[in-house]
Homo-oligomer: A and B are copies of this chain.
């Protein structure tokens, strides 16, 4: 491919966050992309690019795509439903029976196609998702993501303990199925990958956890799970693993806490030691503020994690969270951080807009590679925002971005790019 063929030049209002502390903006500037990766951004396009065609998004906003680091794809049917049920009835009456239906591939495809369409719609370009225990449906979800052009880490869930009989595997099956998926999918796509996904400590035997850790190391596969979401859960883990000093130590013992790249969702009640270990092992703590507020289990003290140099990303956590939008998740994260701010007599600073944006883009993206920024070498994952409907009073670029986040919605996302490719709305296979 010639340099001209492999190069794309975009013009528009460029906004991104190389650091958490401020937005980097260029008004009607240029982004040069070579082979799907950012070469550079320019206020004035260098002469060497004079002969290249320019993709013109003048006056629109060009921002990095959103990264969602925690979502339960099979709970999509229950999005925004049963929100006034408590956690246990919600799991037993809604979530577990629903997940059990995913043994049926027709059913799973129906839900997963709708889910991916919604992910696309909301401007999420990379996502880490939990599927269910079912091997075939999990692989189908990976196929659907590959077809979509979006980036995704998809986890077949592991549960061999403390689970309803209709949603429980043997340890052997669980490990065998997981390995089969890893072998089939680890090199199939550069941006859709398997991820090892013990649901959480209480639903996994020590044997299963041990096997999963071994698979993770053997195949260099990432890991995702839940950690310290609520106090009863922490007490339960302590009961199940009395020799462990804290929840995260159980994962760590079985090589599931940062021995390969690891996502841990919630961390609302992580102890000082747990946080120290997360930091040491470079684990990403995934903050799911909409879920925190809906479920009422607890809230991650995000500033504590940031102050301790622990990487923090955002998760929609549908359907504990009720929105797939990482933009709306940013708002919730800022609001939750303001609760800590207010409760500390304003001593714990709340998240600034640029910090929230940095978390949603650059930190979230760091799990997937060089993703989430427009610095040199980054994959060009981007959203083109047409906010003309909202921008009737000559707002500044930063104000326009803030208003799009707070007031706008998917209607204002004109185009979505992953690795430099324009991603079209996923088409349903079922309706074909």
Given contacts A114-B392, A342-B298, contact A352 B293 (CB under 8 A): no
Asked whether, in the complex, the Cβ of B296 is within 8 Å of the Cβ of A350, the reply is: yes
Return chain B residues, CB-CB under 8 Å to A82: 399, 402
Contacting residues, chain B, for A339 (C-beta < 8 A) = 293, 296, 339
Contact assessment for B406 and A80 in the assembled complex, using a CB-CB cutoff below 8 Å? yes
Check if A353 is an interface residue, CB within 8 A of chain B.
Answer: yes
- Flag whether A282 is at the interface (Cβ < 8 A): no
- A297 within 8 Å of B by Cβ? yes
> Interface size bucket, A side?
35 or more
Bound-state Cα–Cα, A395 to B373, Å: 41
CB distance A406 to B114 under 8 Å?
A: no
Q: Is A54 an interface residue (CB 8 A)?
A: no
- Interchain CB contact under 8 A, A297 and B342: yes
6 A/B residue pairs, CB under 8 Å, sorted by A: A80-B406, A83-B353, A83-B402, A84-B334, A84-B352, A294-B335
Q: Return the CB mask of A375-395 against B: 1 if under 8 Å, else 0.
A: 000000000000000001101
Known: A114-B392, A339-B339, A409-B409. A83 touches B334 (CB 8 A): yes
Whether a CB of chain B sits under 8 angstroms from the CB of A79 is: yes
Chain A 87-110 near chain B by CB (<8 Å), digits 1 or 0: 000000000000000000000000
The answer to whether B80 and A405 touch across the interface, beta carbons within 8 angstroms, is yes
A293 pairs with B80, CB closer than 8 A? no
Q: Are B84 and A350 in contact (CB under 8 A)?
A: yes
Complex contact B399–A353 (CB within 8 A): no
Residues of B within 8 A of A331 (CB): 322
**Extra contacts besides A80-B403, A84-B352 (4): CB < 8 Å:** A80-B402, A81-B399, A81-B406, A298-B342
Return the chain B residue nearest A290 by Cβ: B335
Within 8 Å CB of A84, what residues of B? 334, 350-353
Minimum CB–CB distance from A405 to chain B (whole Å) comes to: 7
With a cutoff of 8 Å between Cβ atoms, the chain B residues found around residue A351 in the complex are 84
Closest to A77 in B: B393
- Chain A residues 281-307 with CB under 8 Å of chain B are 293-298
Q: Contact between A402 and B81 (Cβ–Cβ < 8 Å)?
A: yes
| Residue in B83, B352, B353, B406 whose CB lies within 8 Å of A79 | B406
- Are A79 and B407 CB-contacts (below 8 A) given A84-B350, A114-B392, A296-B342? yes
Considering the chains assembled together, what is the distance between the CA atoms of A295 and B350 in angstroms?
11
Query: Per-residue CB proximity of A336-353 to B under 8 Å, as 1/0?
Result: 001101100000001111
Residues in B neighbouring A395, C-beta threshold 8 A: 81
In the assembled complex, the CB of A53 is this many whole angstroms from the nearest CB of chain B, namely 35
> Which residues of the other chain, B, contact A83 by a CB distance below 8 angstroms?
334, 353, 402, 406
Query: Which of B79, B338, B405 has a CB less than 8 Å from the CB of A403?
Result: B79
Contact of A338 among B77, B293, B399, B406 (CB under 8 A): B293
Complex Cα–Cα for A200 and B163 (A): 56
Shortest 3 CB-CB distances between A and B: which pairs? Answer: A80-B406, A296-B338, A80-B407
How many angstroms between the C-alpha atoms of A245 and B350 in the bound complex?
34
Chain B residue nearest to A343 (CB atoms) is B296
Inter-chain CA distance A341–B405, complex, in Å, is: 29
Give Cα A314 to B332, complex, Å: 19
Contacts of A77 in B (CB 8 A): 393
Alpha-carbon separation in the docked complex, A335 to B296 (Å): 8
Q: Check: A323 CB closer than 8 A to any chain B CB.
A: yes
Chain B hits for A353, CB < 8 A: 83-84
Q: Which residues of B contact A342 (CB under 8 A)?
A: 296-298
Contacts of A350 in B (CB 8 A): 84, 296
Q: How far is the CA of A335 from the CA of B409 in the complex (A)?
A: 21
Chain B min CB distance to A351 (Å) = 8
